[in-house]
Amino acid sequence: MLMKAKKPQKSSPVTTAVFPGSFDPLTNGHVDIIERASEIFKRVIVAVLFNPSKDALFSQGERVELITRQFARYKGRVSVVSFSGLLVDFVHSTDSRVIIRGLRAISDFDYEAQMALINRKLAPQIETFFLTAREEHSYISSTVVKQVALLGGDVSGMVPKVVLDALSKKRLERDRLRAKPLF
């Protein structure tokens, strides 16, 4: 009696990808990566990292709310959640095996490749996909946006309107606090 060799089982196709970051604030570069990832995957989970070592301009809840409002028209194809701890643990808690990372410049690749290798060591079944920023967004970073916005510069071409409005409110709040007399 001959036994047929079993074909190796293939993994099921991945339909969900996780795009992690601090998103403080969400930039047009982030929006571009999320939109493009949503064309590749049926669902994209934007995972807003709580990192107590970073001095955030927006609270974690504010960041989740801004991103949720920006992608409301995607009706469940883009969801936004917050998380803390190891990214691979969070990815395991979702229906995904894919991490999306955006690259602006070659300098980003060194850090991102190191993180991808660490994540692969921790969870070999999770893959990292890199999407390069479109040229018009390659100079934008959340850090630069915060600095320019809080100094009164025009960031309207760097962030979506929902974030631009929130940045304006933050600047007004900061200016009001500075103007208050101490006594």
Which of 101, 137, 142, 146 is catalytic? The answer is: 142
pLDDT digit string (tens) for 108-161?
899 999 999 999 999 999 999 999 989 999 889 999 999 999 888 999 999 999
> Per the CATH hierarchy, to which homologous superfamily does domain 16-179 belong?
HUPs (3.40.50.620)
Give the span between the Cα atoms of 7 and 110, in whole angstroms: 38
CB atoms < 10 A from the CB of 21, how many? 18
Per-residue confidence (pLDDT) for residue 108, from 0 to 100: 87
State the pLDDT at residue 172: 78
Let me know if 121 is a catalytic residue: no
The amino acid that residue 31 corresponds to is V
Residue 54 is a catalytic residue: yes
Q: Which of 42, 54, 77, 134 is catalytic?
A: 54
Catalytic residue among 63, 104, 137, 146: 104
* Full-model pTM: 0.87
Strands 78-83, 43-49: pairing is: parallel
Model pLDDT for residues 20-79, shown as the tens digit of each residue:
999 999 999 999 999 999 999 999 999 999 888 878 999 999 999 999 999 999 988 999
- Confidence band, pLDDT 50/70/90 cuts, at residue 11: low
Q: Is residue 30 flagged as an active site residue?
A: yes
The answer on pLDDT for 14 being more than 50 is: yes
Distances (CA, A) of 91 to 6, 15, 42, 124: 30, 13, 16, 12
Query: Which residue, among 46, 48, 52, 34, has the nearest Cα to 134 in the 3D structure?
Result: 34
Query: Which one-letter DSSP state was computed for residue 6?
Result: P
User: Can 104 be counted among the known catalytic residues?
Assistant: yes
pLDDT-based confidence at residue 8 (cuts at 50, 70, 90): very low
**Which ranges in the chain belong to alpha helices (H)?**
28-40, 60-70, 87-92, 106-122, 142-150, 161-179
